[in-house]
């Protein structure tokens, strides 16, 4: 290891100050490097024989609090494994259960499960014979005379237009709107009511005792 | 031997040497080493499993050694690293001379290290003897990483001054 520099080692006056500093820094770095190596090679003292046994024998068994054990248990990662083949029985039971539920469970079409308001309505079928018509709608007091409300459909004979509705009991006025422009009363209805504008509306009385087929 | 026993086996030597540097007595150093491991065992729940065990253990040991140094109740041994037995295997007078020179160097180094403040000395030992990373040194000495780097850097310059002053 280098020591403090001997004055005789000093560079001559002709040498530049820069070189002097560089040489000094170089010596300093060598010193630091040598010290690092010396520390690295510095021998360790051996621990007294039997120290490990002495330490271990002095450790008292620990009682871990319950909450710590629960906390550790909750934090411990787990691996879930399964065999697809073992899932087959469970899948079969699930499919069987769903099938039974759909087969024997209540359905929306079941009258017993129908909305009470729907159950109190009475089915009425409206028909109009008009072979030359392109489209026919049913307008009436039950749909606020809305022409887009109830479109009628052609039946097999092609000249008959029909529509089935469920209406509440009571008196209803109605008419057919042919091709979106001509209001035609129902010729088969025995009752009419003037609309106050020179047209006649058909009148229908719906009763539970007498299902209507207009 | 259980898992903690493995840790004791692995780290007892650096902890014993830390204690010896602090107290200068083998018996007292052994007692403090034992106490360090007992405390670590008692505080094991507080140890973060993702971190390194040695810096955490070193930190416990250093605090314990400082407490013990404050209430000093023992006499330091006058022990030299010049071990006559280490010279017995030398084949030639040249070998003996080399080994003796080396032992003298270590003795001078120990003396120079003893003159340094503890935190600088331990930073140097951890860095250059135990080959710890700066992050581990920071954890062991309860410093930030930048402070640990500064301790190592300044410690080395301070050691050089001490070494040169003792061996002009």
Give the least confident one: A9-13, A77-81, A179-183, A203-207. Answer: A9-13
Distance CA B81, CA B104 (A): 8
| Domains in chain A: boundaries | 121-213
Q: Which of B13, B124, B164 sits opposite A44 (nearest CB)?
A: B13
A121-213, CATH topology level: Immunoglobulin-like (2.60.40)
Q: How much of chain B exceeds pLDDT 90, in percent?
A: 47
At B143 the pLDDT is 93
- The 3-state DSSP class for residue B121 equals helix
Taken as a whole, chain B contains a residue count of: 168
**Confidence label for A4 from pLDDT (cuts 50, 70 and 90):** very low
Map residue B158 onto helix, strand or coil.
Answer: helix
Check CB contact of A36 with chain B, cutoff 8 Å. Answer: yes
- Select the residue from A1, A25, A28, A45 to test the B interface by mutation, using most B Cβ atoms within 10 A: A45
More confident residue, A106 or B51: B51
* pLDDT-wise least confident of A82-91, A112-121, B96-105, B134-143: A112-121
All domains of chain B in start order, with CATH:
3-70 (1.10.1740.10), 94-166 (1.10.10.10)
* Residues A43-75: tens digit of each pLDDT: 988 988 889 899 998 888 777 778 878 887 888
Closest to A36 measured CA to CA, from A12, A1, A70: A1
The answer to whether B152 and A23 have CB atoms below 8 angstroms apart is: no
Q: Give yes or no for residue A157 having a pLDDT over 70.
A: no
Q: Which of B44, B35, B112 is nearest to B66 (CA)?
A: B35
In chain B, whose CA is at the least distance from the CA of A30? B160
The string of DSSP letters for chain A reads ---SPPGGGSPPTTS-HHHHHHHHHHHHHHHHHHHHHHHHHPPPPPPPTTHHHHHHHTPPPP---HHHHHHHHHHS-------HHHHHHHHHHHHHHHHHHHHHS--TT-GGGS-HHHHT-EEEEEEEE-TT-S-EEEEEGGGTT-TTTEE-EE-TTSSEEEEEEEE-SEEEEEEEEETTTEEE--TT-SEEEE-SSS-EEEEEEEBTTB-EE-
Query: In which residue are the tokens 């080493």 written?
Result: B33
ipTM score of complex:
0.81
Q: Which of A39, A56, A68 sits opposite B8 (nearest CB)?
A: A56
Q: Which pLDDT score is estimated for B140? A: 93
Give residue-wise pLDDT tens across range B53-63. 999 999 999 99
Q: What is the pLDDT of residue A7?
A: 38
B131 pLDDT higher than 80: yes
> In this predicted structure, what is the pLDDT of residue A11?
40
């Amino acid at each position: 290891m280098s020591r403090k520099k001997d004055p005789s080692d000093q560079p001559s006056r002709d040498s530049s100050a820069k070189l002097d500093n560089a040489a000094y820094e170089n010596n300093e770095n060598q010193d630091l490097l040598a010290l690092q190596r010396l520390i690295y090679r510095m021998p360790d003292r051996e621990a007294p024989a039997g120290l490990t046994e002495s330490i271990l024998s002095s450790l008292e068994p620990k009682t871990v609090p319950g909450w710590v054990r629960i906390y550790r248990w909750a934090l411990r990662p787990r691996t879930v494994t399964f065999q697809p083949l073992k899932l087959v029985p469970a899948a079969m039971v699930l499919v069987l259960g769903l099938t039974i539920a759909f087969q024997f469970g209540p359905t929306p079409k079941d009258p017993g499960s129908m909305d009470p308001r729907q159950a109190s309505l009475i089915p009425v079928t409206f028909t109009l014979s008009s072979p030359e018509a392109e489209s026919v709608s049913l307008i009436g007091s039950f749909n606020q005379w809305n022409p887009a409300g109830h479109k009628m459909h052609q039946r097999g004979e092609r000249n008959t237009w029909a529509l089935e509705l469920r209406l509440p009991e009571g008196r209803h006025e109605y008419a057919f709107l042919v091709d979106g422009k001509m209001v035609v009363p129902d010729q088969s209805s025995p009752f009419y009511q003037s609309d106050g504008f020179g047209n006649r509306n058909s009148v229908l009385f719906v009763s539970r005792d007498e299902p209507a087929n207009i | 031997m259980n898992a903690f026993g493995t840790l004791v086996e692995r780290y007892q030597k650096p902890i014993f040497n830390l204690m010896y540097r602090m107290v200068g007595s083998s018996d007292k150093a052994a007692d403090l080493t034992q106490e360090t491991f007992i405390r670590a065992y008692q505080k094991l729940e507080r140890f973060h499993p993702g971190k390194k065990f040695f810096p955490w253990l070193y930190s416990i040991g250093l605090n314990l050694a400082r407490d013990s140094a404050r209430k000093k109740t023992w006499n330091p041994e006058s022990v030299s690293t010049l071990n006559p037995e280490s010279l017995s295997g030398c084949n030639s007078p040249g070998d003996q001379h080399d080994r003796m020179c080396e032992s003298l160097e270590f003795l001078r180094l120990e003396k120079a290290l003893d003159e340094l403040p503890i935190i600088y000395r331990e930073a140097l030992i951890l860095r250059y003897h135990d080959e710890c990373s700066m992050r581990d040194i920071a954890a062991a000495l309860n410093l930030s990483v930048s402070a640990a780097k500064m301790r190592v850097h300044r410690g080395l310059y301070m050691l050089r001054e001490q070494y040169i002053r003792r061996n002009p």
